[in-house]
Chain A
């Protein structure tokens, strides 16, 4: 049974930006890209735990503000030649509202 939790209206997340969502499972970064797709990742870079929510978003990627690793928003995988993965959560937009699934 998957549980979708309402987070906020889509316009509350800047386009090519993100918001930090504080949950019982720790901080989750919810991103909105240039085509209004939303993605959710644990707010920790696989490199040294930097807050990915604070990075620059482009395409389906975010660049970590600490040391410049780039992480794929749709998989949580670091972009080559770096290696590592951060946990990805499911996120979606429905009628202008952003939902998150923590299961």
Chain B
């Protein structure tokens, strides 16, 4: 059946890293290889990370299958289950299995994983003494829990605690013996570990810290029946709930019908070493996941990359992606290592840790400690940058801190409110919830798409989802306005634990059509003078010929921004609102919103609007929040006529563009007013008219600090004071209310124009498409913005000049279309049948 001319790829190890590599490979090059997979276990590929919920009785083995045997068949992969490879013959390029069968390879992928470390103590081979690694171990624990009473878990790390919790939930009397002075010492500081221990003790677990195993003792049946400990080193630091047990010799003895060793893992390099491959703790690989034999690649826990062996799943997936890219002979990506974060998968306990949480010289700590409320948060900061974090109880902002850490972002401006989290302010649409663990299954998480927590959890488990994007695709949760993203991430993190890694937004490809980032593409457009969408796509070897609905509008904007006078706008790469210059409504009609500069109108203008509304039987007329008038329910074919009759400029209320400049009446009328906010607002709106941007841009000008124009929740907000104007930037009043940040205070209206324009131009030139100013400023930091706009006078003037230049020959789109431009866009074809 198989094409014998195909290159043969053999995979040793049927686990998550190896199979993820195959999945990525099949996406890139489905027909390139004739693939065989060897697995020592009798199952398809399952989600090892979810063995703990299985042990705890929350899930079944069926739930955690990622690739069942049908998947291999469907993809033409030869699967050898229960088949351990015992030798790699690199000269003859064959692998030899335990049953003697030989399989030839052209490329070999090692994903042998790791082996649990078994302590070299007497009795380690007794029945009832196991590790915690695979389905068999899990089954054995479940079996033991139904027959026996006493369990001892050796090792108080992540895996040990998950095992202990599961056994306790299955009714066993569980004691955790741990060598170190506190639990999970590689992820937690002493305080957080103390809170964790207390909470686990409340669930009935017992702990013996700073204790070492002397031997395991067999009972009459030959099965383990007790564990003897070495004498305690120091006066007990243990909790009051000391386990029962007799004293025998020097050490304590505890009854133990089941002993689980969870003291660590060691990369499984036996095969590789025997085959003469260089190993250094794990199988040594370079940044393309290639071993010292160029025909052999390796991924996963068996690997040592730049001297580090990873035991969490997220880095393994990053490796898989890179490895697949090279196996598919694309050859364009590199794995450069991972910063990891940890989540404990014990239902009801929220714990998050990342980076270097111990600090050390030159590090400061920002701590919020509320032991009674069960909340502890610590950030370790060095040189105004987060280097580590430990969160207990409230982990809502874990992924935010992790992102700040990975981006190396300067947090000086955020210090005061950092610990209160990103979501403390104004997030709406999910009943003020910011703690997913405490939400019931039927509570709505995503208010846009009506998705409940239970639906999300079910999709994650049943469909084997690992990333935020997967969840968005399958459930639509957080896929619209995105304000519930944090909650969805939490649900994802608590469902799959260590396998979850927040998306790395510091290197974000433009879309699925390319691996290049927004920044790389923008730079190349300018450096290589790319002046059309096909040119840009060709330059970067776009995967899909016409791109997609995500990248085309972005490219169109980037080209427009780079070449304001030369670029010919592509209407087919515009979202419909910007193509039709009106806002599409749910019934397919459009809304029309003419520009009313600064919200100041005249009786004549109002009469004209009223007449148009009557003439075209406009179903709804509404005053908007931006001080304008919206005509809703206009048929598309009527749009050019409506615009002709209105004879007003387009309000650009439909675009990623300048929207409005909201004003208060100011010093002309108001008895409190100290500045003429209305005139400045009108001047700004005229200066920025017809401006496209990465996203919508809203401004406001208030004439005194009472701030009636609500200027401090705008992209650019101006507040008049007696001695001049204060300029604020990067505020947001929508999806997530965000108060703007102070940029500078200036004396004159002319200066406001210069600073505000320069800020907006910097945003136009450097933000990613669909970033609001708030997202962009949060990423680049306010220090950077101040350096460019406030401290660099020449740079500021140049930015201002570039914006003025870009806008100088932009024409009003409505008047253009009244004259017949793009006419067929608005005319339907009528059939005579």
Contacts and interface: CB of A to CB of B under 8 A. Distances in A.
A34 B829 contact: no
Given A63-B549, A65-B576, A24 B833 contact: yes
A34 B546 contact: yes
A46 B418 CA distance: 44
A50 B824 CA distance: 20
A17 B577 CA distance: 14
B572 A23 contact: no
A34 B547 CA distance: 10
B584 interface: yes
A8 B831 CA distance: 10
B236 interface: no
Given A5-B833, A14-B571, A81 B586 contact: no
A56 B473 contact: no
Contact of A7 (B479, B575, B829): B829
Interface centre among A33, A54, A63 (most CB of B within 10 A): A54
22 contacts: A14-B571, A17-B571, A21-B829, A22-B828, A22-B829, A22-B831, A27-B828, A34-B546, A50-B588, A54-B584, A56-B553, A56-B572, A56-B573, A57-B546, A59-B544, A59-B546, A61-B548, A65-B575, A65-B576, A65-B584, A81-B474, A102-B833
Interface string A1-30: 000010110001011110111111001001
A27 B831 CA distance: 10
Interface in B28-43: none
Interface string B799-833: 00000000000000000000000001000111101
Contacts of B473: 81
Contacts of B571: 14, 17
Given A12-B824, A59-B544, A81-B473, A70 B549 contact: yes
A65 B588 CA distance: 9
A3 to B, nearest CB: 8
Given A33-B546, A65-B576, A56 B552 contact: yes
- Give the 4 A-B residue pairs with the shortest CB-CB distance, closest first: A63-B549, A58-B546, A56-B549, A54-B576
A5 B831 contact: yes
Contacts of B480: 67
B73 interface: no
Interface in B546-567: 546-549, 552-553
Given A15-B572, A57-B572, A66 B584 contact: yes
B545 interface: yes
Nearest to A13: B824
Contacts of A51: 584, 588
Interface residues of B, number: 29
B548 A58 contact: yes
Interface range on chain A: under 10, 10 to 19, 20 to 34, or 35 or more? Answer: 35 or more
A56 B833 CA distance: 28
Contacts of B573: 16, 56
B544 A58 contact: yes
Given A22-B831, A34-B545, A55 B572 contact: no
Contacts of A61: 548
Interface centre among A20, A58, A70, A100 (most CB of B within 10 A): A58
A48 B547 CA distance: 25
A68 interface: yes
B572 A22 contact: no
A26 B798 CA distance: 54
A80 to B, nearest CB: 8
Contacts of A17: 571-572
Nearest to A56: B549
A55 B549 contact: yes
A68 B546 CA distance: 17
B828 A19 contact: yes
Interface centre among B547, B576, B584 (most CB of A within 10 A): B576
A22 B577 CA distance: 21
A29 to B, nearest CB: 10
Interface of B: 473-474, 479-480, 544-549, 552-553, 571-573, 575-577, 579-580, 584, 586, 588, 824, 828-831, 833
A14 B584 CA distance: 20
A12 B833 CA distance: 20
Contacts of A22: 828-831
Nearest to A66: B586
Contacts of B575: 56, 65
A20 B636 CA distance: 11
Contacts of B580: 54
A55 to B, nearest CB: 7
Given A21-B828, A100-B831, 15 more contacts: A8-B829, A12-B829, A14-B572, A20-B829, A22-B829, A34-B545, A55-B549, A55-B576, A56-B553, A56-B572, A57-B546, A59-B545, A61-B548, A70-B549, A81-B473
A50 B575 CA distance: 14
A51 B588 CA distance: 6
Contacts of B588: 50-51, 54
A7 to B, nearest CB: 6
Interface in A28-53: 30, 33-34, 48, 50-51
A19 B833 contact: no
A12 B831 CA distance: 15
Contacts of A27: 828
B546 A20 contact: no
Interface string A67-103: 1101000000000010000000000000000001010
A16 B833 contact: no
Nearest to B587: A49
Contacts of A30: 829
A23 B828 CA distance: 10
Interface centre among A8, A19, A33, A81 (most CB of B within 10 A): A81
Given A19-B829, A22-B828, A24-B833, A48 B546 contact: no
Contacts of B552: 56, 58
A28 to B, nearest CB: 8
A61 B549 CA distance: 10
Contacts of A7: 829, 831
A59 to B, nearest CB: 6
A17 to B, nearest CB: 5
Contact of A68 (B549, B577, B824): B549
Nearest to B570: A16
Contacts of B586: 48, 50, 66
Contacts of B549: 55-56, 58, 63, 68, 70
Nearest to A18: B572
A19 B824 contact: yes
B831 A23 contact: yes
A8 B474 CA distance: 39
A16 B828 contact: no
A23 B833 contact: yes
Nearest to A65: B576
A19 B636 CA distance: 12
A22 B827 CA distance: 10
A19 B824 CA distance: 8
B377 to A, nearest CB: 36
A51 to B, nearest CB: 4
A57 B831 CA distance: 23
Interface centre among A20, A24, A55 (most CB of B within 10 A): A20
A44 to B, nearest CB: 9
Given A20-B828, A20-B829, A23-B831, A58 B584 contact: no
A82 B572 CA distance: 24
B435 to A, nearest CB: 28
Nearest to B459: A81
A48 B584 CA distance: 14
Nearest to A24: B833
B552 to A, nearest CB: 6
A41 to B, nearest CB: 14
A65 B829 CA distance: 20
A100 B575 CA distance: 26
Contacts of A65: 575-577, 584
A68 B448 CA distance: 13
Contacts of A67: 480
Contacts of B474: 81
